[in-house]
Structure 1
Amino acid sequence: MMASAVALPARAFSGSYSPEDVTFLLKPVSLLPTDILHKEKAIQSGRRHYSEMLSAEAVPDAAYLELFEAALRRNSARLAHDVARLADAIAAAARPGQEIVLVSLARAGTPIGILLRRSLRRRGIAAVHYSVSIIRDRGIDMAALGWIAERHDPASAVFVDGWTGKGAIAGELHRSLADRPFGFVPRLAVIADPAGRADLAATEEDYLIPSGLLNAVVSGLVSRSILNDELVAPGDFHACVSYAEFASIDRSRPFVDAIDAAHPHVAPALFSRSADARKATARRCDKVIGEIMAVWNVRDRNRIKPGIAEATRVFLRRVPERLLLRDPGEPDVAHLLHLARRGNVAIARMPAASPFQAAVIIRALATEEEGQ
């Protein structure tokens, strides 16, 4: 085993959240960070998969944390409304008296899973919540699903994420569960589904879910999941790094508590759409991605990250080339303007008809390296 990678004892844990809110089915490890430029080149060249490496997570500065707090003040009521709406949709689809097993997709899905569990239990519905890894092109963590299946009915599971971008993770979920392993069905619930790929959603609008602004400090102080042969043996959970050193600025519990405190006292109307309407949304998403690729001469679809939260992720842990905005004056994209200006990233307009408020094009570093 390389000195940069150290496996720690496997165990279920809750990060910086209350144990009653979530159980992470991840394997804590120690892994030295990879330089972000080196990581990006390795990903784009095909030498390494993104899940094998982590770049260092930067501590957000005071100005950026204030943007997060402003987003929380502005959108907490809306998110609380959408959590209640999604919880009602999940409950309506369940059998009467059935325990609901929420399986959030770490880590963007984790705070949403916590909020959904609280919302369901407020309605008197039994619900448990686990957070597991799913990785594009490599699938969902089967060891974690096996662990859940030993303790609960897989037919009662609902997979939870915060939002959809291009729908890559939704597609990965369906591929991973195509043969119904352990009896799990690929039923995905998200707050915002502008890509039209989720089975259940609260809205199709791309709006700023405040947790999308931050990384570990709003996700239980855990990293993105890792799948690296040096760290994950057959039968192990996928891995993660814990960031206890960020405890002083951790917003994980305050965030879910703030949204939970804003829960509506009147049940919101369910968001409903036909299968044809969902397919139309998916086509509109694909059309916009195709237009961006054509206008900006992008050959690799993976370099396009649409949606406010996905665009934010690029600034936090990838190498952005260009920020595209539907309306630069929209408050929900103020943090993206802050990040783009700080990093000297070009800004351009998106089509007004785009279902996404923002998108980012990742810089093509592999091509640059080949030309050196």
Structure 2
Amino acid sequence: MPIKQNFTIAPMGSYPPEDVTFLLKDLSGVMQEQGTEDREEAIQSGVHYSEMLPIEYKPTSEYMAVYQKALQEYAEKVAVAIGVVAQEILLKKGKNLILVSLARAGTPIGILIKRYLLLAHNLDVPHYSVSIIRGKGIDEQAIHYIKQNHPDRHIQFIDGWTGKGAISRELTKACQKMNDQYGYDLDDSLAVLADPGYCSEIYGTREDYLIPSACLNSTVSGLVSRTVHNKAYISEQDFHGAKYYRHLEEEDVSNEFIATIVKEFPAVERNIQTHLEQIRSQHTAPNWSGLACVKKIQIDFSIDDMNHIKPGVGETTRVLLRRVPWKILVKNRNDKRLKHIILLAEDRGVPIEEYQEMSYTCCGLIKSMKEKL
């Protein structure tokens, strides 16, 4: 077992403290963002993506209109999926559980699951948001804090959606490592709202649709940046880091998003039960079919690095917001779920290509910067 430590929890984010506790070191005013092109070149030359922060995309009024319309269209669907996931978690873990969302896409989903459990079952469970980084693993200090303060509770990890399953695999590896090293009993199951990659046991749907919170970055995730692990700022005793973007407070819709979905819960309770029964009757174990699809795309488009392929609506959105896209693949250009993708791509001058041989609604391909290095 690890040595007990006295952790310092710094308040962070625009969510009420009763919704979530961020186990992150505040790097506001310490770390500077880098331009997208510079950051992409650094990543492709070997610098780990978690050692830098992108400049945060400030949504245009036109883009915010797309977000608001998506929220209006999909609020009920999201509420049903939240209820399904919450019920599945409760069945698997019992009432003595603790929600641990993966920052930052998992944070609003974790809050909504917490709110649903309180509303539907009068069950108030702790909820933390922690960092996990591809290639570096989960924030072990954060897990030590949780185990130290809630030794008897069963952890359920939560994220927004799956792409090709990289974070699922990272979580499995990290849990096994900590279980072996510290004698923990961490369950590596990842509960997600949408599992188009077919790599999670607990999911609200496997449809690749637009979860409205995927449209935005920090402005729908408590004004918290993506997480950072850079030894210039993070010691071995620290939590992973992040910035709190106070300058975006006027654009912040984090709590509005939560309130909009929560308002749907009472009206969709019957739909939740119907959808839950349907998922249980048709449930299949993860078959990682999304990964097979990505491997085919890699061959068809002669892409050297699989990490340059980001499948699904959520991941494609993020490619357009914080990477340097090469092109966007869409299964059907007229799919209404792709309105914000089309808008972002046109705004950035990124070509869109129809590619019907994939299970995802769309896929973002990152530009190789080799010719510039």
Q: Same fold (TM over 0.5)?
A: yes
1-side partners of 2:150 and 2:100: how far apart? 11
Within 5 Å, which residues of 2 pair with 1:125-140?
A: 125-140=123-138
Paired position in structure 2 for 1:321: 326
How far did residue 346 of structure 1 move?
Answer: 1.1
How far did residue 22 of structure 1 move?
Answer: 0.3
One-letter amino acid matched to 2:144: G
1:355 matches 2:332: no
2-side partners of 1:336 and 1:286: how far apart? 22
* Worse-superposed segment, 193-202 or 251-260: 193-202
Paired position in structure 1 for 2:245: 243
Against the structure 1 CA distance between its residues 62 and 154, is the aligned structure 2 distance closer, same or farther, given a 3 Å change threshold? farther
* Worse-superposed segment, 147-156 or 226-235: 147-156
Against the structure 1 CA distance between its residues 52 and 163, is the aligned structure 2 distance closer, same or farther, given a 3 Å change threshold? same
Secondary structure in 1 matching 2:26: strand
Stretches of 4+ aligned residues off by more than 4 angstroms: none
Deviations 1:101-145 (CA, angstroms, capped at 9, x unpaired): 000000000000000001111212241100000000000000000
Paired position in structure 1 for 2:372: 369
One-letter amino acid matched to 2:66: L
Paired position in structure 2 for 1:45: 45
Paired position in structure 1 for 2:264: 262
Corresponding residue to 2:311 among 260, 285, 306: 306
2-side partners of 1:273 and 1:325: how far apart? 31
Identity %: 37
2-side partners of 1:361 and 1:273: how far apart? 35
One-letter amino acid matched to 1:231: Y
Within 5 Å, which residues of 2 pair with 1:216-227?
A: 216-227=218-229
Paired position in structure 2 for 1:85: 84
> Number of matched residues?
354
* Worse-superposed segment, 218-227 or 337-346: 337-346
2-side partners of 1:154 and 1:310: how far apart? 35
2-side partners of 1:335 and 1:174: how far apart? 32
Secondary structure in 1 matching 2:87: helix
1-side partners of 2:331 and 2:168: how far apart? 25
Secondary structure in 2 matching 1:146: helix
1:31 matches 2:31: yes
How far did residue 330 of structure 1 move?
Answer: 1.4
How far did residue 14 of structure 1 move?
Answer: 4.5
How far did residue 55 of structure 1 move?
Answer: 1.5
How far did residue 176 of structure 1 move?
Answer: 0.4
Paired position in structure 2 for 1:156: 154
Paired position in structure 2 for 1:278: 285
Corresponding residue to 1:114 among 111, 116, 121: 111
**Structure 2 residue runs without a partner (length 5+):** 1-6
2-side partners of 1:174 and 1:287: how far apart? 19
2-side partners of 1:273 and 1:197: how far apart? 18
Against the structure 1 CA distance between its residues 152 and 196, is the aligned structure 2 distance closer, same or farther, given a 3 Å change threshold? same
Q: State whether residues 225 and 239 of structure 1, in contact with CA within 8 Å, keep that contact through their aligned partners in structure 2.
A: yes
Q: State whether residues 208 and 361 of structure 2, in contact with CA within 8 Å, keep that contact through their aligned partners in structure 1.
A: yes
Within 5 Å, which residues of 2 pair with 1:279-298?
A: 279-280=286-287, 282=288, 284-298=289-303
Corresponding residue to 1:99 among 73, 96, 99: 96
2-side partners of 1:290 and 1:36: how far apart? 26
Within 5 Å, which residues of 2 pair with 1:116-195?
A: 116-122=113-119, 123-153=121-151, 156-179=154-177, 180=179, 181=182, 182-195=184-197
Deviations 1:229-253 (CA, angstroms, capped at 9, x unpaired): 0110011000001100100110000
After superposition, the CA RMSD in angstroms is 1.6
* Worse-superposed segment, 142-151 or 178-187: 178-187
Against the structure 1 CA distance between its residues 19 and 137, is the aligned structure 2 distance closer, same or farther, given a 3 Å change threshold? same
Deviations 1:44-102 (CA, angstroms, capped at 9, x unpaired): 111x100000111121110000000010000000000000011010111123xx32200
